[in-house]
Chains A and B, each alone.
Chain A
């Protein structure tokens, strides 16, 4: 018995053959007892399988929302709390960043002009030296805030530069010492810059974010406990 005949017999058993194929097979079955025996065997095997009792399901397999991962229904006000909490958190981080960055930006030019670096003496070399004192002389009295730090640097360099061009040869240590000695005195005298956002606002924002988050957690827990009681 080849595979083709086996498939034909199996399909014939289920009435799945075309009428023409079925007629042809029936003719062969009439004249071939071996083929008939196989058909009977297949029919018997199928009959036994069909006799297997259908078992009743041992329990109901109905699903609960929890089983399918549905979230417990949250109160309608939940999205509002979520929005306010998210907004307050964002604003809090933004103001924190602002308060951190802005004073640094305000201080950066003072250090740059202070000329504590090694290149300072060359900056005030013969060619540029005259320009600096003029700028310092005109600008210094007008500006009040950032020039507090900027002012001393030119005035100190003015003296050597204006006295004599030869003094440009002044050792760098000397200038470094004078600059570094002046700066601490000036910074200690200066009051720290005011942050753009008052800390009280940050406290308020933090409180809103914290309370909002707390309310959301409580809402979720209440919804979950209602869910479990169902």
Chain B
């Protein structure tokens, strides 16, 4: 895929060229939205909004990392979605567990080769991680999702979030620290290799 040529064509109004770019990036954009919003349907809506907005403003793309530019668009779409939720809070349709947490559906299961027990464990771990991500402040969440889940480097994240690299470093460190503290509450779910040290003086 000649990304630069496709971007150039898309900037000239060629929708087919932009759709080729969408097909290439839609999984990572959707996953970013999913981890920031924690809801599949909202993530799909935010992803669609992000791509529409990206096409309309593609003339403002001046080179550099196209992925980072798209990430900025999807992050903005997620912020809009979260603001909308704050204005109009909704009640989830899924039943709650005894401790008041929302139950995830089996659709969250990732690897079809897993045994039912493994699937259940993976599901619970993912749920725990998503729970901890949801508890992060928005500006920390977007940074940790892009850096640690999407594997983007600091400069790309800085472009996507429009803050200096130094701020990214600071936010990422604090986000990881908060996640660590949150995940200690789910230590029984964590794989042995990932068990967190308890009582370290952070």
Are B173 and A55 in touch, CB under 8 angstroms? no
| A residues 1-35 in Cβ contact with B at 8 Å | 1, 3, 6-7, 9-11, 14, 16, 34
Is B83 an interface position by the 8 A CB rule? no
Are A14 and B176 in touch, CB under 8 angstroms? no
When chains A and B are docked, how far (Å) is the Cα of A51 from the Cα of B121?
Answer: 13
Q: Is the interface of B mostly helix, strand, loop or mixed?
A: helix
Are A50 and B149 in touch, CB under 8 angstroms? yes
Are A61 and B22 in touch, CB under 8 angstroms? yes
| B residues 22-55 in Cβ contact with A at 8 Å | 22-23, 26-31, 34-35, 40, 44, 47-48, 51-52, 55
Q: Please, how many residues of chain B have a CB less than 8 angstroms from a CB on the other chain?
A: 52
Are A10 and B183 in touch, CB under 8 angstroms? no
A44 contact from B19, B154, B194, Cβ within 8 A: B194
Is B78 an interface position by the 8 A CB rule? no
Q: Please, how many residues of chain A have a CB less than 8 angstroms from a CB on the other chain?
A: 41
Is A105 an interface position by the 8 A CB rule? no
Is B197 an interface position by the 8 A CB rule? yes
**Interface flags, A34-63, vs B, CB<8A=1, else 0:** 100110111011111111111111111111
| B residues 46-79 in Cβ contact with A at 8 Å | 47-48, 51-52, 55-56
Are A49 and B172 in touch, CB under 8 angstroms? no
Is B111 an interface position by the 8 A CB rule? yes
Given A55-B31, A58-B40, A63-B15, are A44 and B22 also a contact pair (CB < 8 Å)? Answer: no
Is A177 an interface position by the 8 A CB rule? no
Given A6-B173, A6-B177, A9-B173, are A48 and B55 also a contact pair (CB < 8 Å)? Answer: no
Q: A-contacting residues of B (Cβ < 8 Å)?
A: 15, 18-19, 22-23, 26-31, 34-35, 40, 44, 47-48, 51-52, 55-56, 110-111, 122, 125-126, 129, 144, 147-149, 151, 154, 169-170, 172-174, 176-177, 179-180, 183, 190, 193-197, 200-202
User: 13 new A-B pairs (CB below 8 Å) besides A41-B200, A61-B44?
Assistant: A1-B201, A7-B173, A37-B197, A38-B202, A41-B197, A57-B26, A57-B47, A58-B30, A59-B44, A61-B47, A61-B48, A63-B15, A63-B19
Some 12 contacts from A to B, beta carbons below 8 A apart, are: A7-B170, A38-B202, A46-B148, A48-B129, A49-B129, A49-B149, A50-B151, A52-B149, A61-B29, A61-B48, A68-B15, A70-B15
